[in-house]
Amino acid sequence: MILNVPDETHVKEYIAEEPFAREGVWSRFEALPFTIATLPYTPLPQPGAPVSASRTHTISIGRDGTDPGAAERRAAARAAHLARVTPAAEAGLLALGGALTQGVRMVGSIAVTAHDSDAAAAAWWAEDPYITGDVWRDVTRYGTRMVGLPYAKLPGAA
């Protein structure tokens, strides 16, 4: 889930009201500061759209190295990375992506791609400059399915 909130306090307020958190559906959660890249994404599924019964997408979280050369590697690979992911966003393969941040520094990325398996996502990302340029040192993947849900305010929300 992506929350548009200014700080960790607002995340905690949201989670305190989130039914999945309150009722124990989620065993854990992690809040990662994230800036969505301004790319030509195709629209996400809307309420009423057909719903897949199985996994449709993969969330990849790539964490940059923490060594002294990490920021320079990211900067060197960034233009080629954006040149690769822009057409993927236009085609609907990249549903959403952007930088993980610590203050003003980029320290990784989150990307949601239309891959129905970790293997398919890993194969596609293997050719990306953030992998070939040794920017992402650790990548974690999570399977999901995209579903258009109606927006509903949480109990107690203004």
Q: Is the predicted pLDDT of residue 16 greater than 60, yes or no?
A: yes
Q: Where are the domains of the chain?
A: 32-144
Number of residues assigned to the chain: 158
pTM comes to: 0.85
Q: Is the predicted pLDDT of residue 2 greater than 80, yes or no?
A: no
What is the rounded distance in angstroms from the CA atom of residue 134 to the CA atom of residue 120?
20
pLDDT tens digits, 84-117: 999 999 999 999 999 999 888 899 999 999 999 9
Q: Is the predicted pLDDT of residue 151 greater than 90, yes or no?
A: no
Check: CB of residue 33 under 8 Å from CB of residue 105. no
What's the fold here for domain 32-144?
A: Alpha-Beta Plaits (3.30.70)
Say what the pLDDT of residue 32 is.
Answer: 83
What is the rounded distance in angstroms from the CA atom of residue 41 to the CA atom of residue 33?
20
Structure-token pair, residue 116: 């129905």
